[in-house]
Structure 1
Amino acid sequence: MSLQRLSAAGTLALVAALGGAGAQAAEAPQYGGKLEIINYYSTLSALSWDPADYVWKINHDAGHIYESLIAGDLGKASSRGGSHTFQADAWLPPDVQRGELAESWEVKPDPWRVEIKLREGVMFPAKPGVMEARELTAEDVVYSLNRLLKSPRAVPDYYSFVDRVEATGPHTLTIFKHEYRSDWDYRLGYGYYSQIYPREVVEKGISDWRNANGTGPFRIANYTQGNFATYERNPDYWDSETIDGKAYRLPYVDSFTYRTVMDESTRHSLLRTGRVDIMEQIRWSAVEELKKSAPDLKWRRSLMHFGVLLALRNDTKPFDDVRVRRAMNMAVNKQEIIDALYEGNAEMLAFPLHPDYAGIYRPLDELPENVRALFAYDPDGAKQLLAEAGYPKGFKFQAQVCACNPSHMELMPLLAAYYEQIGVTMEIVPMEYGAFFGAMNAKNHAAGYMMSKGHSNPAAALYNSFTPGDPWNPAMYDSAEFNEGMLAVFREDDEAGQTELLHELTDLVLSDAAYVYLPTAYTYAAWWPWVKGYDGELRAGSVKPGPIYARIWIDQDLKKKMGY
């Protein structure tokens, strides 16, 4: 489970791995070459280069440069013979966590605190015009975390449990907490905004990508908004992995490039012709054609770690009435969407808990009847609820959607047609991503807001989707019962107790129908056989692929043999 646990009797100590991945039986890696990647967010350029801007995508763009205290232990990845796929967008259970900048950490009570020992000898490389080369110290971690805590862009209550962060030595620090917090590791260790960087970069201007300089496996070499970002090997990087008893310094490739490609058919062409080595997200509808035209490609299929949701503003008529919100769910034939739109490549229920959360997730047939009713197509029942709520002739509303998402653009007319059958007119308002995302952040979005919402982890998916004031709660849901329940989750130190609370809260928010809960599609990743040390892993932290890329190598001989 993702939430850290502590017994009431004593202390939970968690000591991280000291080096790279564990021993494995595999080919000896080759150094050199460059990777061309169409990444998971292929239509989006970097949204910010400053972690204190609290932009969800920062780890994806700067997490190759800046490191965090904790990362995923890729020695346990399927590409290394392990069982973990590293698909979740922000979930690292304790058994797959390793120290990145932290060598070890320990949670202690009286007062609640986390005592952290950093790795020694980790270097910030020289950056002309920004800084000289120097060693990472505890002061850098304290500076970075305190800057997050004080940021005017901070997500409300995200770090409210933190009292203060203090350096206790050159390579030791303590995070003092107001109270026990079960998910401290996610928020402070491997979370979305948890990168550690030097003061010199901030003073020079951290918002400018040209000034970026961190301890990570790569450093940014070039960037053009809307086109590409190229990262080159950091020769001073500290980490290594052990293969058949031999240690290999990381990373293996000289560089990698992200291509921002808006057109889906162009993305497929680049992959099919070998001009791209890895494509991290491919819609199910393109897979069969690509398998025929490029039969050598390797594949991974996975259920997306996103809820597909039409947010209904609970603070706006008519969606302030739960009967209307339930009607909006019952009016949609979700099984027909799975069969007709996705041709079976989707699951009915995968939000707010995901099937990958073993031991926590419950399938639809195990949920209460009032929840199951929302996933059954019942237009007559929907009409009856609308009439009871005072809308016997229906109503009109606007629903915003990002034009950058082809799946959503296909889905919206289907929803409009279903709603027309119950007398509801939905006006579809396509938007470009900046305006779309900005509307949600500013809370001036329309009564309907079509979105893909990442889970993060079992507790976070509930917390940020349904907590009042959170930027990722476009439904504007506000329930005192839910709010109290989330506090209990974070204070609970027993795994079974946490799971029970998560089940209760899931039943509550689903039955309240804050969103129209839509099917979650399967997605595919594809890569060429010359890409080694890779099995479709996506994230070794919160939307963080940097450690994965550092462990990929290119079989140059095989690539030439295949004619590329």
Structure 2
Amino acid sequence: MSQPSRSTSLRLTVAFGLALALALAACAAPPRAAPTPAQPSAEEAKPAEATAPTPGQPKPGGTLRVGTNQDAVGFDPHLTNATASYRILENIYSSLLRFKPNLEIEGDLAERYRAIDATTWEFKLRKGVKFHSGKPLTSADVKYSLERIKDPEVKSPRSSQLAPIVAIETPDEYTVIIKTEKPFAPLLAVLADRTMAIVNKDFIEANGGKLDNVADGTGPFKLKEWVPNTRTVLEKNPDYFIPGQPLLDQVIYQPIPDDTARSTAVRTGTVDFIEYAPPKDLELLRSDSNIVITGEGNNNVRFLAFNTTVKPFDNPKVRQAIAWAVDREAVLQAAVNGAGTPLYAGPFLPSFWPGLQAPVYKRDLEKAKQLLAEAGYPNGFTAKLKNTPTYSFLGNAGIAVQEQLKEIGINLEIESLEWSVFLKDYLGKNFEAVVSGYSGFADPHTPLDGTYVTGRQNNFMSYSNPKFDELVAQGAQETDQAKRAQIYREAQRILLEDSPMVFLYAANEYEAMQSYVKGYVHYLNGSHVSFRQVWLDK
């Protein structure tokens, strides 16, 4: 299918709106009508509660075997850029806040929280929380963690998200005060992100400042073992702060990059659960009475990105020509069997509140050829495209784009790389063009600021436009969502004009599991944090 169902689009619209309303609210309790953060509220946020699993009689014990698309690429929650790592680390660490499945925000390590004024937030921590090593959690750990992310020497790709914070105070062991220079509407959404993990300062220092293959969190599971490209084993944290969770004794992640092999593994019972259930296999999986499918809508973006410092991609007309030449529907079909939405405008679905409604780039080969001629390439050119087959939805998209661009004389020579090599080159800006993506955002500020603002750690295209930067900063300070949407739409139009990347599609995402796997909940940001409430009915 080329479009998500009407109910999916509605869920995405409502969920994203709710998540951002919470980030804008002065009180962190789930709102019906969201107040603005400029006015503090006397009512405090409710603490996180254990989400009720599937009706029945949940029973503790057992091991969940998870077939993943890829192995973890590093275990430092403040440094990794790999989704495969996030989905493990989010079950090892906790953050101040966290998202519910529909992206509403609730407390995690923060038992309650409130806005004191437009630029000051108070967070009251749970008492009795311990790191896996046994060390009690205090406000000093929160301060250390957030300041570590902000530290330029650490080089966290999330540092810009915390740049508006000017002070983190700890008046006592269980109180954290966060101050921003100006109103910062996305603050709660930023703090709820799984990359904002609270770490143990003593543990990091004992490991030479690195968390490459070790972990000490406060989450529902502990890191027991990591055998690269073979398995990652998590074991139950008996001291987890939510009573009765987790139910599982262990979670074992097994990388199975091949789509067909992953589907076969869950059908034959080699694993209990797979992520990225291949859209091409959904009909087959659904026909098996022992298999349950969940998922659909997901906030992700898949794109063709350019290194804007190298020829010919330093020329905006070349980038625009490619944007006009790409057939997004065909790319979507090749990448995920049509299970998603083509992105004809900015990096957001039209159903997301700041999304552009009208298409900007629909395929027009004559316009593409004209722009190439104006750029000085009337006969096209040859360039290199780095691609990875590890994620089929990226590798297949790259092949589709390669074929389409031949029609305007552009020959993209594909260099197919294994994921870890691909990621190293991508993060190191060692490419001319590349097909990649990002996901997991709840507030538009996160991708717009972190990926496109001049000099940001995740701005791998080396893109720069001062007007765009100004609008993103302005949007973060605006507390009225309608006005924010207008600002972000203007920023997206600049982005589309400059085209440092061509937005291809947003994919639906599915999980497949044995029918005895109970309690799993699909999150709109692709999170697997519901593993803490999963149980095995066997």
TM-score, with structure 1 as normaliser? 0.82
* CA–CA separation in structure 1 for the residues paired with 2:350 and 2:294: 17
Tell me if structure 2 keeps the 8 A contact 1:233–1:254: yes
Alignment-mate amino acid for residue 511 of structure 2: A
State yes or no: 1:280 paired with 2:275. yes
Q: Does 1:545 align with 2:531?
A: no
Structure 2 counterpart of 1:31, one-letter code:
P
Which of these residues, 318, 329, 339, is aligned with residue 335 of structure 1? Answer: 329
Q: Is the partner of 2:321 in helix, strand or coil?
A: helix
1:253-294 Cα deviation digits (max 9, x unpaired): 1111111123333212210112211112122112223334x3
Asked if structure 2 preserves the Cα contact closer than 8 Å seen for 1:48 and 1:207, the reply is no
Judge conservation of contact 1:64–1:218 (CA < 8 Å) in 2: yes
* Matches of 1:14 and 1:195, distance apart in 2: 26
Identify which of 477, 487, 505 aligns with 1:501: 487
Q: Which residue of 1 aligns with 2:120?
A: 113
Deviations 1:447-493 (A, max 9, x none): 21111222623222222232122233333221122111001101101
Q: 1:60 to 1:344 in 2, by over 3 A?
A: closer
| Alignment partners' CA distance in 2, 1:262 and 1:322 | 35
Q: What secondary structure is seen at the aligned counterpart in 1 of 2:508?
A: strand
Q: Which residue of 1 aligns with 2:536?
A: 554
Instruction: After superposition, give the CA deviation of every residue in 1:110-157 in whole Å (9 maximum; x if it has no partner).
Output: 7x22211101121234x4xxxxx3432112212222222224313353
Partner in structure 2 of residue 452 of structure 1:
437
Equivalent residue runs for 1:457-472 within 5 Å: 457=442, 458-472=444-458
- Secondary structure in 2 matching 1:508: helix
Asked whether the equivalents of residues 75 and 214 of structure 2 are also in contact (C-alpha less than 8 Å), the reply is: no
Number of residue pairs matched by the alignment: 503
Show the counterpart of 1:143. Answer: 144
Matched residue type, 1:104: R
- 1:202-236 Cα offsets, whole Å, 9 max, x none, are 13216457752222111122210111111111111
Tell me the distance in 1 between the aligned counterparts of 2:512 and 2:231.
20
Could you tell me which residue of structure 1 aligns to residue 109 of structure 2?
A: 101
- CA drift at 1:503: 1.9
Aligned match for 1:479, one of 452, 465, 483: 465
Tell me which of 341, 354, 358 is aligned to 1:360. 354
1:382 aligns with 2:368: yes
Q: CA deviation at 1:300?
A: 2.3
**Structure-to-structure mapping, 1:121-136, within 5 angstroms:** 121-125=128-132, 127=133, 133-136=134-137
Amino acid at match of 2:126: R
Kept in 1: contact 2:99–2:193 (CA 8 A): no
SS in 1 for 2:387: strand
191-200 vs 272-281, which deviates more?
191-200
In 2, the alpha carbon distance for the partners of 1:301 and 1:199 equals: 37
**SS in structure 1 of the partner of residue 512 of structure 2:** strand
What is the DSSP-based 3-state SS (H/G/I as helix, E as strand, rest coil) of the residue aligned with 2:88?
helix
The Cα shift of 1:408 comes to: 2.8
- Would you say the 8 A contact 1:49–1:62 is kept in 2? yes
Identity of aligned residues (%): 26
**CA separation in 2, counterparts of 1:537 and 1:38?**
18
Output the amino acid matched with 2:123.
I
Which of 289, 293, 297 lines up with 1:295 in the alignment?
289
> Do the aligned residues in 2 keep the contact of 1:280 with 1:538 (CA within 8 Å)?
no
CA deviation after TM superposition for structure 1 residue 301, in Å: 4.3
Q: For 1:311, what is the secondary structure of its paired residue? A: strand
SS of the residue corresponding to residue 223 of structure 1 reads: strand
Tell me which residue corresponds to 1:80.
Answer: none
Alignment partner, residue 217 of structure 2: 214
Alpha-carbon distance in structure 2 between the residues aligned to 1:433 and 1:25: 36
2:169–2:177 CA contact under 8 A, matched in 1? yes
Aligned partner of 1:48 in structure 2 is 74
> CA separation in 1, counterparts of 2:297 and 2:138?
40
Indicate whether 1:536 and 2:522 are aligned: yes
Q: Distance in 2 between matches of 1:199 and 1:388?
A: 56
Structure 2 portions without partners, runs of 5+: 1-16, 27-35
Deviation sequence 1:335-372 (CA, Å, 0-9, x none): 33445665543322285113563x43344xx35xxx2x
Mind listing any 5+ residue stretches in structure 1 that lack a counterpart? Answer: 78-83, 85-91, 128-132, 241-248, 557-564
